[in-house]
Structure 1
Amino acid sequence: MSNRTRAIILAAGVGSRLRPYTDAVPKPLVEVNGTPMLHNALHQLSELGICEATIVVGYRKKVIEQSCGPRFEEVEIKYIHNPIFDRTGSAYSLWLARNTMLAGDTVFLEGDVFFEREVLERTLRTVSATKKNVTAVAVFTEAMSGSAVELAADHSVSKFVMNQTPAQAQARSLFKTINLTHFSAAALHKQLVPALHRAVESEHRTAYVEQILAPLVENSELQLSAADCSDTRWFEIDSEVDLRLAEEIFRLPAALALPGASSAKLAAGARR
């Protein structure tokens, strides 16, 4: 990892599935046991020496700017506004932060993931001369849904698979994406930023970042390694059920609170 590694955090969305919590605050500021998701992400970045972050804001952007300020702990913050956040996907928000990506190695995070330090630390620790682009993944459990990846024998990502249910993902031994990825300067300059630009130019502005990465990986244009974080605490929060799961995971001692254990039981209870 470069000493000048920067971070990009996407925090522009409305978070409609988390209403009424997001009526007053944007989703990244919804609290897990008293800590806003975005504050947690910035704290973990600061702890690991990443001192520059670009936050892409949209819905209730001033609330985020006031909450985090120009500096959070040791992290200097720059804000970029997505004026059409309600009509665009995460890929468009990431494209708006292209100048940050073109400046060097970058850690990309979604603003709705609550995670412990080990998730980020392990991802960065996996970065090496042969593994320059690394994404955090975890075993797909009953409490999860959404995008997933297929891993090759060398633990590199061979395929992205969208919109997975637990049954579908487990049948194929897929891993859940945590939406936390380190990209090298070369990959950003040669592959990701041009791919984002092509999507925007072709009016494909509702795409998710995973949909941009998928063809790059499958066509072997982008070599993406996986950091297995199955034994760490994290959760992607899209709904009130997710929020309760995350609160349960982070309320228990780390050894008893893996996403595949306590959260699966709580999710089953929530569905009854």
Structure 2
Amino acid sequence: MKTPKKAVILAAGFGSRLRPLTDLRPKPLVEVNGTPILHNALRNLEAVGVEEATIVIGYRKDAIQYACGSLFGGLKINYVESVVFDRTGSAYSLWLARDALLSGDCYLLEGDVFFEEDALRYLMMGDAANTAAVAPFDPSMEGSAAILSSDGFISEVRLKQTAASLGSGGPLFKMMNLIRFSGAELRTKIVPVLCDIIGSGATKVYTEELLGILIERNGLQLAAARCDDLRWYEIDSEEDLRVAERIFTVERSARCGSGHIAAAAGE
């Protein structure tokens, strides 16, 4: 399967839980061991062959444009501005980037995830048209999680999960907010449903809610790329930042497992 040549990164939000670090800069420019979260994402995208990235900006938009420019390494950068970032959800930001989504196969990233390059490569394994990166839900985590079917596809997306959610209804897997979509599915299913949701006035919907609707009501087949052996972290708070810095301070001596597409392996 060919690597998408384009990517969309959602980077418009306040990052209020990271204050005071985000008082003067947007969350995607907060640094993990000296590297801005957004720069790490762009470098990884370029490394796997992406040629063009569209970044949805809002809060402190000028800082992101200055930090990334129109060309980051060999990666062309486009910007889409949300002027209502303070009162809309991430699905609205995604809707603003719909022209980029309609241009073909595409990676979708949230701008607050620090991750290894191989996470993007894992999204390319197997034959599934659409794939999302997941990892075992750790008791220290919170946020959106997935339930996997016996054949390795995401059967349900659950919002606002915590340690208390573990052991309820099967193993939980944290959504890493790194996804690969096929151009055909974006044109025929994903973007039309997104437009219907935003058109109905539901502008505060999160991207994870959109995925849940697509899976449960519209038959989207979204494979799970198991990234159990990779380093990554979603950074929403100062404690998250400290955890990410610890994770990425020490080089792994060996992989603790084998990342894979569960659907492709028929698990």
Q: Name the TM-score class by shorter chain.
A: over 0.9
- SS of the residue 1:197 aligns to: helix
How many percent of aligned residue pairs carry the same amino acid?
50
Q: Indicate the residue corresponding to 1:26 in structure 2.
A: 26
Tell me which residue corresponds to 1:58.
58
In the other structure, the counterpart of 2:132 is 135
TM-superposed CA distance for 1:3, in Å, is 5.5
Aligned partners of 1:169 and 1:175 also within 8 Å: no
User: Which ranges in structure 1 are unaligned for 5 or more consecutive residues?
Assistant: 259-272
Q: Is the 8 A contact 2:4 2:107 kept in 1?
A: no
Length, aligned pairs only: 255
Is contact 1:107–1:183 with CA below 8 Å preserved after alignment?
yes
Corresponding residue for residue 115 of structure 2:
115
Alignment check: 8 A CA contact 1:249 1:257 kept: no
The equivalent of 1:234 in structure 2 is 232
1:1-272 to 2 correspondences below 5 Å: 1-2=1-2, 5-126=5-126, 128=127, 131-171=128-168, 172-219=170-217, 221-255=219-253
Q: State the AA in 2 paired with 1:250.
A: F
The Cα shift of 1:230 comes to 1.2
2-side partners of 1:255 and 1:161: how far apart? Answer: 34
User: How much does 1:240 deviate?
Assistant: 0.3
Extract unaligned runs of 5+ from structure 2.
257-267
Greater Cα shift, 216-225 or 172-181? 216-225
Superposition RMSD in Å: 1.5
How far apart, CA to CA, are the structure 2 residues paired with 1:112 and 1:136?
15
Cα offset, 1:125, TM superposition: 2.7
Relative to structure 1, the CA distance from residue 117 to residue 8 in structure 2 (aligned partners, 3 Å threshold; closer, same or farther) is same
Which region of structure 1 is more displaced relative to structure 2, 97-106 or 218-227?
218-227
Distance 1:30 1:108 in 2: 20
Contact 1:191 / 1:221 at 8 angstroms: preserved in 2?
no
CA distance in 2, matches of 1:243, 1:256: 24
Q: In structure 1, what is the Cα distance between the partners aligned to 2:187 and 2:140?
A: 36
CA–CA separation in structure 1 for the residues paired with 2:183 and 2:143 = 28
The code of the aligned residue for 1:145 comes to E
For 2:118 and 2:163, locate their aligned partners in 1 and report how far apart those are by CA, in whole Å: 24
Distance 1:253 1:143 in 2: 21
User: What is the distance in 1 between the residues matched to 2:3 and 2:232?
Assistant: 25
Query: In the alignment, is the contact (CA less than 8 A) between 1:148 and 1:169 conserved in 2?
Result: no
Name the aligned partner's letter for residue 14 of structure 1. F
CA distance in 2, matches of 1:256, 1:250: 14
The alpha carbon displacement at 1:98 in A equals 0.3
What is the DSSP-based 3-state SS (H/G/I as helix, E as strand, rest coil) of the residue aligned with 2:67? helix
3-state DSSP of counterpart to 2:80: strand
